[in-house]
A and B are shown apart, each in its own frame.
Chain A
């Protein structure tokens, strides 16, 4: 009776004893699609039948099984009844075994690797974080193009009619003007697309991070998640970081040159901050970013919409600062 190490590479797995001898060996069976699912499940801590059989086969020879993954260790212990442990720090045994067993001859697993990569990418693309990231990019693009075309149009007219009272288009410019006039149609399309993007964002956010959505509002919630990279990463951030999220440039400028640190980033456009005189905005921003931090954590860890309490607190503070309470 001894210790066994579970090592593997995509679809081929071994249990190896302390003397580097393989005591059992297996290869995933099934179509490429089935094998891909097995690989992806294993990474989530769900072992395919081949791994269970492998452990049973090694059973009489192996007292303790060592694996590298906590989640897998738990499920294996439950399903096989074998004692399964995970080394506290990277165990040199695994490194040496990997070099011994999985250094060459890996090319046969290339198709499986590519198909796993494709499935992983598909899943990542439909993840709410990625959808929010893309929709925020679209929103930014529509905002910028609206402003761009609108500015162009206004400037064009301003330059042609210095006399605002009685606008007259010079005959030579009529053709030009008729093109510019049609910019209106473009602006309309852009604002329709912008509205649809907001609607799509609202659908994702209401489901994915309802507390954050209700506390920060649609655009701030979405932009915070996009800037952090994911809701989960936002939930690990301190209120102080959240307060200046999106003001990266100003932050580093301050750090280098000693100019004042930015007080707000993305949250600056929140109506409670906008509606206050500037000497009160910092105070409001501090509470708002605190509530946002709590909201993001609630959405990630407890999956409960606790926005009612958080909003109440914000509202109170707002009225206090406005001098109404």
Chain B
């Protein structure tokens, strides 16, 4: 019998495989596998394993993000949702009363997001460029959490301008930063420092988690919006 416990976040779970912690979320679409993740049945619920090598949010949790600031029923704006790997777990976390707006500008992975939305009524896929939030100002409502994983040099500016339109005061930012996508000639620590100081214009930074064990030269920034 598999033993499933929850982490500091009541919607994020784990089980032990030997001494390894395997993260899980409660599956909102048991009939559908998003990216070949494993399904686990316990306590008459279906859970999906959450792979830290595939998802920077999962690795942030394993690498010590105190508690992920996404709760049941939250509304999340996700910039750079790609195939929806991470977005699908956020969709599990916020549950059927929550919403995940998924902005992605590349039509190929966007096809996968549409398929995901067909199985999950809390996923709103939006084909648009995050640099131009006006494009989707009639599609996204007010949000509790801004999640950004864009691999764009101007990502901090993009985050600030999206927050200014959609994020509530006191809402949370989670931003995955890949050093080389901002500047590959500078040492990563310097890139992070510049990025964090830029973000400080709108956010009180709570922590920065290095993700190198799972994603080389990446960090996750957690901030609270204080416009």
Task: Determine the distance from Cα of A70 to Cα of B107 in the docked complex, in whole angstroms.
Answer: 25
Q: Report if B114 contacts A (CB, 8 A).
A: yes
Is B159 engaged at the interface, CB distance under 8 Å to the other chain? no
In the assembled complex, which residues on chain B have CB atoms less than 8 Å from the CB atom of A113? 117, 124-126, 139
> Is the CB–CB distance between A124 and B127 below 8 Å?
yes
Chain B, interface SS category: mixed
Query: Cβ of B137 < 8 Å from any Cβ of A?
Result: yes
Cβ of B145 to closest chain A Cβ, rounded Å: 12
A121 to B140, CA, bound (A): 18
Which of B138, B140, B227 has most chain A Cβ within 10 Å? B138
Q: Which of B9-17, B39-47, B161-169 makes up part of the contact surface?
A: B161-169
CB contacts (< 8 Å) of B30 on chain A: these are none
Contacts A102-B142, A121-B107, A130-B107 given; does A107 touch B121 at CB 8 Å: yes
The interface bits of chain A over 76-111 (1 if a CB of B lies within 8 angstroms of the residue's CB, else 0) are 000000000000011010110011111100110010
Main secondary structure, interface of A, reads helix
Residues of A within 8 A of B99 (CB): 106-107
Q: How far is the CA of A298 from the CA of B168 in the complex (A)?
A: 44
Interface assignment of A68: CB less than 8 Å from any CB of chain B:
yes
B135 proximal to A (CB < 8 A): yes
B139 touches A98 (CB 8 A): no
Q: Which residues of A are found within 8 Å of B212, using beta-carbon distances?
A: none
Q: Is B198 an interface residue (CB 8 A)?
A: no
Binding site for A on B (CB under 8 A): 75, 97, 99, 107, 110-111, 113-114, 117-118, 121-122, 124-127, 133-142, 161, 164-168, 184-185, 227
List residues of chain A with CB under 8 Å of any chain B CB: 8-10, 39, 42-43, 68-70, 89-90, 92, 94-95, 98-103, 106-107, 110, 113-114, 116-118, 120-121, 124-125, 130, 252, 255-256
